[in-house]
């Protein structure tokens, strides 16, 4: 009923004074005690429950203090005279059968230490400490209010539901506050919620301690504050916060204070939310509470104190408390119907119903002991049967009934089914603060169905927008969280995902690696297919190379046409027309084979490109080599008694070309049979794209093909170099020398360029080498002859040829 106890300094020379409660009377707690009296009288008048059996009761004020609670516990266990007796004298037992209470967890624990060994059951309506569920320590404890273990989990889920990850926490420095906050902090950690501070205080602490807690709240960056505190403690803290201007805070309260009507006067908590016991209706209770007259009131010191405090007068009948009341005598005109106090307010019957259910639970347990049903459905109760507390204790474990639509039962820990209402402090149409039920929470439901939001919540500063309370803003997709050194996990920096990684969710702690053929988009929030790269006919480089390839082939064909039309001319006949036509044919193939390197690689194109290139180039070099040998043999044939040309005539020239080409064809055939080239997706050269390439299959075969071409080119270059000063028709040996020099230079340069060029440029380098070397052969071997045929026809005769040969012979 009161929150303080009168303290006396003991001199140890005289008997100590009896313990006394001080401070103002809590009319809400008075309503709880009156609800117990109402339930007892209702049961005594019932014909169904304990018919003919009268329950007696005693009401004690614990002052919310441990010493007084211990004293009362000894009184109840020993059968001493009560402090306040508002019931009839019990005839059978001096000890109590059961206890309803206490409102606080710490006094309840103190009482249980004393009455527990006697097996006296205690059913609390308001002690919510999770520690009381420990049946090893408190085997005689039951409660009709859910444990804080469920409330703590519900508060953590509520905070996570609204996206608050950075909060402050205050608590009563008591069993209720400390155990409740410990359960909440554990649940909050599991939900990924960080706590900036956690402060404890008690109403009897020095004012400086409360001021320090208030300063911590004012200076914090967390905009949401969770308060697991008793009403008396919370009232002191809010007064201190109200004394100086404080930044707006969103308060989250435990059921002890968040549903206390007396707390609504603190406007700084407007918009507060918290879980409260389900609001209920108890028929007849309001009439019972208001059925007070000065005569009835004067029989109870508690009711007398309430009456005098509420109306500001002193009762002339009986004994007055006289505490804080002026010497004005109540004249009987006081109307309790018009009184607006928590005692008369029955619109929010929450904990009151827990008292009501506790009394009925004990009554049902006694009923199962002393009463039995007969065959004609009548109930017979044995009035003189001695009921032991241990019997009531055993029967309380199995009670299961419904009263006014509310189920009453206890689990193995003595706890009821946890159900809550989500209560919001809203300013009503009258301008006054009021409780509004905005949702419900049922811990017995599946996790996704525990919350049921019914109405819109009004937040701090009368806002409809959910306040934000985070240490760091959310990291958008494409980034990950990196915890700041020395700070909680909720304080972090947003780091962009590394190359090849994405995050497609907000506040991702890690980035995901894209699959091999995928790459992050610019925002790095999703993986997209890597662009495929190969040398295409549609890109600029592909078009240029194609143009040069086709152009070279066309020039070779055009030259062959010119040679064919002038095949009877001296210059064509003198330059071995058969080898010349075969060389032009091979050059045409060399130009065209470069086209196989352009386009999307396929199985056939990969096998064709290198083999076609190798065979056509060997055919080309074989023809040049044949022409070089013909030049040398022709000079030897001009010497007296020489018949060299007999051994190197057209059949031998053809055989030479075929033999050299056959060797290359054999190498290519073995290559294709044993380890042919095949298309691959190169995912290593570039991270952000896929290169479509042709794997060589056998690297040795590739370099064997190039090596054989290089060997024939080197042989041709040496022979041409030896024949450069011989008296040749139109100095063709010199042109062969220069052409082979260019050819070798191109392919020697090709090797490092080929190895170092990435992706499609590797293919481009090879095509460039093919086209360049082909043009080198074509321009040096055929352009001078075409120039003479087309633009210097006067030099294209046998006479001119013989004159030039004679001049060269003289030199």
Statement: residue 318 has pLDDT above 50: no
Element (H, E) at 35: helix 27-44
User: CB burial class (10 A; 0-12, 13-18, 19+) of residue 438?
Assistant: middle
Per-residue confidence (pLDDT) for residue 566, from 0 to 100: 82
- Report the candidate in 67, 521, 186 with the shortest Cα–Cα distance to residue 75: 67
Which stretch of 188-197, 302-311, 723-732 has the lowest confidence by average pLDDT? 723-732
Statement: residue 633 has pLDDT above 90: no
Which residue in the block uniquely carries the two structure tokens 């624990």? Answer: 109
How far is the C-alpha of 337 from the C-alpha of 753, rounded, in Å?
104
Element (H, E) at 22: strand 21-22
Which stretch of 274-288, 302-316, 457-471 has the lowest confidence by average pLDDT? 302-316
Q: Which residue has the higher pLDDT, 711 or 635?
A: 711
| DSSP string for 442-482 | ETTS-GGGSEEE-SPPP-GGG-SSPP---SSPPPPTTEEEE
Per-residue confidence (pLDDT) for residue 726, from 0 to 100: 60
- Report the candidate in 108, 111, 257 with the shortest Cα–Cα distance to residue 175: 108
Element (H, E) at 141: strand 141-143
Residues 233-248: what's their mean pLDDT? Answer: 91
Q: For 247-327, where are the alpha helices, taking DSSP H only?
A: 255-258, 285-290, 294-297, 301-311
pLDDT tens track for 473-517: 989 999 999 988 888 888 999 999 998 899 999 888 899 999 988
Element (H, E) at 532: strand 532-533
Per-residue confidence (pLDDT) for residue 100, from 0 to 100: 96
Per-residue confidence (pLDDT) for residue 354, from 0 to 100: 95
pTM: 0.65
* Mean pLDDT rounded to a whole number for the chain: 86
* Residue partners of 564: CB distance under 8 A and separation at least 6: 581
- Report the candidate in 178, 101, 106 with the shortest Cα–Cα distance to residue 145: 101
Q: Please check whether residue 713 is in contact with residue 748, taking contact to mean a CB–CB distance below 8 angstroms.
A: no
pLDDT tens track for 392-405: 999 999 999 999 88
Q: How confident is the model at residue 638 (pLDDT cuts 50, 70, 90)?
A: low
Statement: residue 55 has pLDDT above 50: yes
- Report the candidate in 340, 172, 151 with the shortest Cα–Cα distance to residue 261: 340
Which stretch of 73-87, 106-120, 356-370, 532-546 has the lowest confidence by average pLDDT? 73-87
| DSSP string for 69-92 | HHHHHHHHHHTPPPSB--SPPPSS
Three-class secondary structure of residue 96 per DSSP: coil
Per-residue confidence (pLDDT) for residue 727, from 0 to 100: 57
**Percent of residues, the chain, with pLDDT higher than 70:** 91
Bridge-based pairing of strands 678-682 and 690-695 is: antiparallel
Statement: residue 192 has pLDDT above 80: yes
Q: How confident is the model at residue 412 (pLDDT cuts 50, 70, 90)?
A: very high
pLDDT tens track for 589-607: 988 988 988 889 998 988 8
**Percent of residues, the chain, with pLDDT higher than 90:** 45
Per-residue confidence (pLDDT) for residue 512, from 0 to 100: 92
How far is the C-alpha of 259 from the C-alpha of 111, rounded, in Å?
26
Q: How confident is the model at residue 757 (pLDDT cuts 50, 70, 90)?
A: confident
Per-residue confidence (pLDDT) for residue 324, from 0 to 100: 46
Q: Please check whether residue 264 is in contact with residue 424, taking contact to mean a CB–CB distance below 8 angstroms.
A: no
Statement: residue 584 has pLDDT above 70: yes
User: CB burial class (10 A; 0-12, 13-18, 19+) of residue 760?
Assistant: buried
Bridge-based pairing of strands 250-253 and 273-276 is: parallel
* Peptide bond preceding 312 in cis form (omega within 30 of 0): no
- Report the candidate in 80, 258, 231 with the shortest Cα–Cα distance to residue 154: 258
89: DSSP letter: P
Q: Give pairs for 558-565: CB < 8 Å, separation 24+.
A: 559/584, 559/778, 559/782, 559/786, 560/584, 560/585, 560/588, 562/786, 562/789, 562/790, 563/785, 563/789
Q: How confident is the model at residue 182 (pLDDT cuts 50, 70, 90)?
A: very high
- Report the candidate in 564, 224, 297, 276 with the shortest Cα–Cα distance to residue 422: 276
Q: How confident is the model at residue 805 (pLDDT cuts 50, 70, 90)?
A: very low
Which residue in the block uniquely carries the two structure tokens 């946890």? Answer: 418
Q: For 575-726, where are the alpha helices, taking DSSP H only?
A: 577-593, 603-637, 644-647, 650-674, 699-722
Per-residue confidence (pLDDT) for residue 808, from 0 to 100: 42
How far is the C-alpha of 371 from the C-alpha of 366, rounded, in Å?
8
pLDDT tens track for 117-149: 999 999 999 999 999 999 999 999 999 999 999
Per-residue confidence (pLDDT) for residue 389, from 0 to 100: 93
Q: How confident is the model at residue 729 (pLDDT cuts 50, 70, 90)?
A: very low
Residues 526-555: what's their mean pLDDT? Answer: 91
């Amino acid at each position: 009923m009161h929150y303080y106890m009168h303290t006396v300094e003991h001199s140890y020379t005289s008997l100590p004074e009896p313990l006394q409660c001080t401070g103002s009377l809590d009319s809400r707690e008075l309503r709880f005690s009156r609800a117990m009296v109402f339930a007892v009288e209702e049961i005594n008048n019932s014909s169904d429950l304990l018919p003919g059996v009268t329950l007696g009761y005693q009401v004690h004020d614990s002052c919310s203090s441990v010493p007084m609670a211990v004293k009362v516990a000894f009184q109840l266990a020993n059968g001493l005279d009560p402090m306040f007796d508002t019931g009839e004298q019990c005839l059978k037992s001096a000890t109590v059968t059961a206890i309803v209470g206490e409102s606080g967890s710490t006094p309840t624990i103190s009482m249980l230490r004393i009455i527990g060994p006697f097996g006296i059951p205690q059913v609390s309506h308001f002690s919510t400490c999770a520690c009381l569920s420990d049946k090893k320590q408190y085997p005689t404890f039951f409660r009709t209010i859910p444990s804080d273990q469920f409330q703590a989990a519900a508060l953590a889920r509520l905070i996570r539901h609204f996206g608050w990850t950075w909060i402050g926490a205050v608590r009563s420095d008591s069993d209720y506050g400390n155990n409740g906050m410990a359960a909440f902090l554990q649940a909050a950690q599991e939900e990924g919620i960080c706590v900036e501070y956690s402060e404890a205080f008690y109403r009897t602490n020095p004012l400086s301690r409360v001021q320090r807690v208030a300063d911590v709240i004012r200076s914090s960056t967390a905009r949401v504050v969770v308060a697991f505190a008793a009403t008396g403690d919370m009232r002191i803290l809010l007064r201190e916060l109200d004394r100086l201007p404080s930044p707006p805070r969103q308060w989250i309260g435990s059921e002890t204070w968040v549903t206390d009507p007396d707390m609504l006067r603190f406007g700084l908590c407007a918009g507060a939310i918290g879980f409260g016991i389900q609001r209920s209706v108890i028929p007849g209770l309001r009439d019972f509470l208001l059925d007070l007259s000065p005569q009835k009131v004067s029989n109870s010191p508690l009711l007398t104190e309430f009456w005098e405090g509420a109306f500001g007068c002193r009762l002339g009948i009986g004994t007055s408390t006289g505490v804080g009341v002026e010497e004005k005598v109540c004249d009987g005109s006081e109307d309790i119907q018009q009184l607006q106090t928590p005692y008369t307010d029955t619109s929010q019957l929450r904990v009151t119903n827990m008292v009501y259910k506790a009394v009925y639970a004990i009554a049902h347990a006694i009923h199962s002991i002393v009463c039995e049903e007969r065959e004609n459905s009548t109930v017979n109760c044995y009035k003189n049967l001695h009921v032991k507390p241990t019997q009531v204790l055993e029967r309380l474990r199995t009670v299961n009934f419904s009263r006014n639509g509310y189920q009453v039962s206890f689990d193995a820990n003595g706890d009821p089914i946890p159900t809550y209402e989500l209560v919001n402090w809203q300013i009503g149409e009258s301008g006054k603060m009021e409780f509004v039920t905005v949702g419900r929470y049922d811990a017995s439901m599946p996790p996704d169905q525990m919350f049921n939001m019914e109405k819109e919540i009004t937040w701090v500063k009368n806002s409809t927008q959910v306040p934000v309370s985070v240490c760091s803003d959310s990291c958008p997709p494409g980034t990950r969280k990196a915890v700041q050194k020395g700070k909680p996990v909720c304080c972090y920096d947003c780091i962009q995902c590394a190359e090849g990684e994405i995050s497609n969710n907000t506040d991702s702690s890690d980035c995901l690696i894209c699959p091999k053929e995928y790459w992050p988009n610019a925002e790095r929030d999703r993986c997209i297919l890597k662009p495929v790269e190969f040398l295409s006919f549609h890109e600029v480089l592909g078009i240029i190379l194609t143009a040069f390839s086709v152009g070279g082939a066309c020039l070779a064909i055009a030259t062959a046409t010119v040679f064919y039309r002038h095949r009877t001319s001296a210059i064509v006949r003198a330059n071995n027309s058969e080898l010349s036509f075969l060389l032009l044919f091979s050059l045409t193939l060399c130009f065209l084979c470069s086209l196989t390197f352009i386009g999307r690689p396929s199985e056939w194109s990969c096998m064709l490109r290198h083999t076609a290139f190798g065979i056509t180039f060997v055919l080309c070099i074989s023809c040049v080599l044949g022409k070089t040998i013909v030049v040398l043999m022709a000079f030897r044939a001009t010497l007296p008694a020489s018949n060299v040309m007999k051994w190197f005539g057209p059949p031998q020239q053809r055989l030479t070309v075929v033999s050299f080409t056959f060797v290359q064809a054999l190498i290519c055939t073995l290559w294709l049979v044993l380890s042919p080239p095949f298309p691959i997706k190169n995912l290593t050269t570039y991270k952000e794209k896929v290169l479509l390439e042709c794997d060589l299959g056998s690297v040795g075969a590739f370099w064997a093909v190039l090596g054989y071409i290089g060997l024939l080119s080197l042989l041709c270059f040496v022979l041409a170099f030896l024949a450069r000063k011989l008296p040749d028709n139109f100095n063709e040996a010199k042109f062969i020398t220069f052409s082979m020099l260019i050819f070798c230079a191109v392919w020697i340069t090709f090797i490092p360029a080929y190895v170092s060029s990435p992706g499609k440029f590797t293919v481009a380098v090879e095509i460039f080498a093919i086209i360049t070397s082909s043009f080198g052969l074509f321009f040096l071997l055929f352009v001078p002859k075409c120039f003479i045929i087309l633009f210097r026809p006067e030099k294209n005769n046998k006479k001119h040829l013989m004159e030039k040969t004679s001049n060269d012979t003289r030199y």
